[in-house]
Structures are given as structure tokens and as C-alpha cells.
Amino acid sequence: MDLTLSPSEQGFRDELRAWLADNHPGEDPPGDDEAFEHRRQWQRQLYDAGYAGFSWPKEYGGRGATLVEQALFGEEMARARAPQPVNVLGMVMGGPVVIHHGTDEQKERWLNAILTGDEIWCQGFSEPESGSDLASLKTKAVKSNGEWVVTGQKVWTTYAHKAKWCMLVARTDQDVPKHQGLTYFIMDMEQEAVQVRPLHQITNEPEFNELFMEEARIPDENVVGGVGNGWSVAITTLMNERAGLGAASAAGMRMALTDLKQLAIERGVTDDPLIRQRIAQLAIEVELLRLNSWRGLTQIMKRGVPGPEGSLPKWQWGEIHQALTELAVDILGEDGADWESPWTYRLLRSRANSIEGGTTEILKNIIAERVLGLPKLR
């Protein structure tokens, strides 16, 4: 057991930390379009410094970073309170899918513009009637004259209004079991047949969108991983989404905890034994989130693939962030009702943490069935 960093890992971290100190873009400016451009610029800055597509193999323009370096990268970005680069979905999900399942032509066409941020990617998986039960999705793609014609609706599509490409999973065969009839497409968003409508969440931000497709066209060469293989291709991206995020989310919670302690000190409540107990419990759980993440990473390094226990940090993170923001608003008392308070915003936004990227209930199912070996409900 050795939880220290090697000299090269330490060197990497110090270099990144120094770079972030010199190049931090500052907070997002007000206004959705302004914030978007700010983050696109940030993406470009990361790309120019060789930090975009960090986990991607070098031959595809990435850095070929080790898992430890990836975790350190996430930790340092959170520690510096750096904004998310604009094309995070392309880098974390779309790019890895193309790298794993795509043809040489597809790699040539798409990969570089993901890293530079010149082409933004969005994700068309969930539908109004297919959330956790993703494989039941109904959006239909029919082949006609060498291209695919797509009709249906998607939802929770971040950056759909800015995206050039959509990772779209659609049903291409109605006559086989639901997991076998799906195909993974890369759909051009710039066509009349694709309509985007903003979806305002409880914070009143239009962070997500609804996506309507009425006979949208996708050329056959935009199928990734073969017709009928959409489920296993999509699962790769979901596993990629979860692997390695733990350390970054723990670092994010560590910053939130620092803010919380500062708030408690400012509000003069640090002598309240109940507040002290709650702060301590959060401090302990944030630390355990970090430790579970690093333990999970050690297991991935030994076995080569992310395991289902990668579901634990996502679950923990959601619970911690919700409890932390609840405590902050308790400390604020009546001021916690203030719509302008950043803590009020976080209180509300954190309610999505146990839903987005896999609900806590689905994560519990995965753990019960695949880690503990309990029988399936279905």
C-alpha cells in the first residue's frame, strides 16, 4: 500500500497546478451565450496546452495519460475551480466511442474538431418515455436510399442548441429483443428536420433541451460500431463517463466543504455542537469519497477495465452534495430563501445529482446485481 505519488506524477501535478494558476479563465460571464463562448475559449486554451482529450491515445491527438494522471487532472481542475471545457461530452463520451468502435475515416473526420472545440457534441440517449430503461427507446431510424431517416424525440440534451453532432441511439429493428434492435449514430444537428427546444430546470436555467426529429437524415457512414450494436456501444460511453470521475468529484466536494466551513465561520455558528457534527460527518464522507475513488482506480489499474464498483462514487457524490447544500442553507436560515444566493442555487441544482448520469436507484440495482450477485428483478 502506497498512497504517495511517484516523482513523475508529482511533477505532472505541479506543472498542471502552475499552468492553471497562470491560465485560469475566471468565472463564466453572465448570459448563456457569453458563458458558452467563454468555455469554448477555455477548451481551445486547454487544447493548445495539450490538456484536451487528456485520456485519449496520443495517435488521436490526446495525451495518452495514465489513470492516475487522469484522476490528478480532474482533481486539479476542481481544486482550481476551473470551468468545464465546452466539449466535455465529446471528450468524455463521443471521442472514446469513435476511438473504440469507429472506422479510420470516422476518426479522421471527427476526433480533432472535438478536441479543439470547433464542433460541439451532444448526447441523444434519453427519451420522455425511456429514462432509466434506456433500451426501451422508441426513436426510429429506417434505411432509405442509402441513408437513415430518423423520427422521434430526445430529452435532457445538454448544448443541443450549440452542437454540430449528436450521439444518437435509435431503434433500427423492431422485431428483435429491445437491446438488440438499437444502432449508434452520429447525427448532424444542422438540418431543418432537427428542432431544439430549451427545457428550463428548477433553477430556471435552460441547461438542457428537448430534441425533436422529423425525418432527419443520417448518412450510412455515420453509423458507429455496426447496425444493431447500439446498446453495447452506448454502454462503453456510460462506463467511460463514470470511470475516473470519482477523484474529480471528490475534489469538487472538498472545495464545497471549504466554502461551507467558511460560511459557518462567517455566520458564527461553529460553536453549535449540531452544526459541528454535521460538518464533521460531511468532512468524513468527502474524504471517504476520495479514498473509495482511489481504491477503485487501483482496481482498474490491476484489472484493466472499470468495474461495477465504479458506481459507488457517483452515488456518494450525489448524497454528499445534497447534504452539504442543505446544511449551508440551514446555516443561512432565512437568507437561505434568497433566490440570488449561490447556496440556494446549489441546493436546488444538487437535486439533479442523484438523477443525472444514472439515478441512485439504478446504481443500487447495478451494485445489488453485479457486485453482490443478488437476483435480477426483471
Partner 1 sequence: MNFDFTDDQQAIKRTANELLGARFKPDRVRELAESGSYDDDAWKEMSELGWAGIFIDEEHGGQGLGIVELAILTEELGYALAPVPFLSNAAAGLALQFAGTDEQKQRWLPGIASGEARGTVGMLRDGEARLVPDADSAEVIVLISSDGSTAVVEASAADIEPFETMDRTRRFARVRVDGGEPLGGDCFAAGDRIATALSAETVGVAQKAMEMAVEYARDRKQFGRAIGAYQAVSHRCAQMLLEVEGSRSGAYYAAWCADAEPESLPEAASGAKAYSSDAGWRVCASSLQVHGGIGFTWEHDLHFFLKRAKTNALLYGSASEHRERVAAIGLGELESSSAQPVEA
Q: How far apart are CA 27 and CA 168, in angstroms?
A: 32
Q: How far apart are CA 137 and CA 144, in angstroms?
A: 21
Q: Of 257-286, which residues contact partner 1 (CB under 8 A)?
A: 257, 261, 264-265, 270, 273, 276-277, 279-281, 283-285
Stretch that binds partner 1, among 78-86, 144-152, 193-201, 356-364 (CB under 8 A): 356-364
**In this structure, what are the phi and psi dihedrals at residue 302, rounded to the nearest 5 degrees?**
-75, -35
Question: In this structure, are residues 135 and 155 in contact, taking their beta carbons and an 8 Å threshold?
Answer: no
Residue 316 as a binder of partner 1 (CB under 8 A): the answer is: yes
Residue 84 as a binder of partner 1 (CB under 8 A): the answer is: no
Contact letters for partner 1, residues 55-74 (x by CB under 8 A): -------------x------
Q: Bridge-partner residues for 155, per DSSP?
A: 210
Residue 305 as a binder of partner 1 (CB under 8 A): the answer is: no
Cα separation values, 358 from 17, 36, 161, 238, 296, Å: 31, 25, 23, 9, 18
Residue 322 CB, nearest distance to partner 1 (Å)? 15
Residue 81 as a binder of partner 1 (CB under 8 A): the answer is: no
Q: How far apart are CA 283 and CA 196, in angstroms?
A: 41
Q: Which residues are catalytic?
A: 241
DSSP 184: E
Q: In the complex with partner 1, which residue's Cβ is closer, 254 or 349?
A: 254
Q: How far apart are CA 65 and CA 286, in angstroms?
A: 25
Q: Letter for the amino acid at 55?
A: S
Q: How far apart are CA 94 and CA 121, in angstroms?
A: 7
Q: In the complex with partner 1, which residue's Cβ is closer, 163 or 279?
A: 279
Residue 310 CB, nearest distance to partner 1 (Å)? 12
Residue 365 as a binder of partner 1 (CB under 8 A): the answer is: yes
Q: In the complex with partner 1, which residue's Cβ is closer, 146 or 273?
A: 273
Residue 303 as a binder of partner 1 (CB under 8 A): the answer is: no
Question: In this structure, are residues 239 and 306 in contact, taking their beta carbons and an 8 Å threshold?
Answer: yes
Q: What angle do CA 363, 369, 373 make, to 5 degrees?
A: 140
Residues in contact with partner 1 by the rule CB under 8 A:
1-6, 9, 68, 257, 261, 264-265, 270, 273, 276-277, 279-281, 283-285, 287-288, 291-292, 294-295, 297-299, 302, 309, 312, 315-316, 361, 363-365, 367-369, 371-377
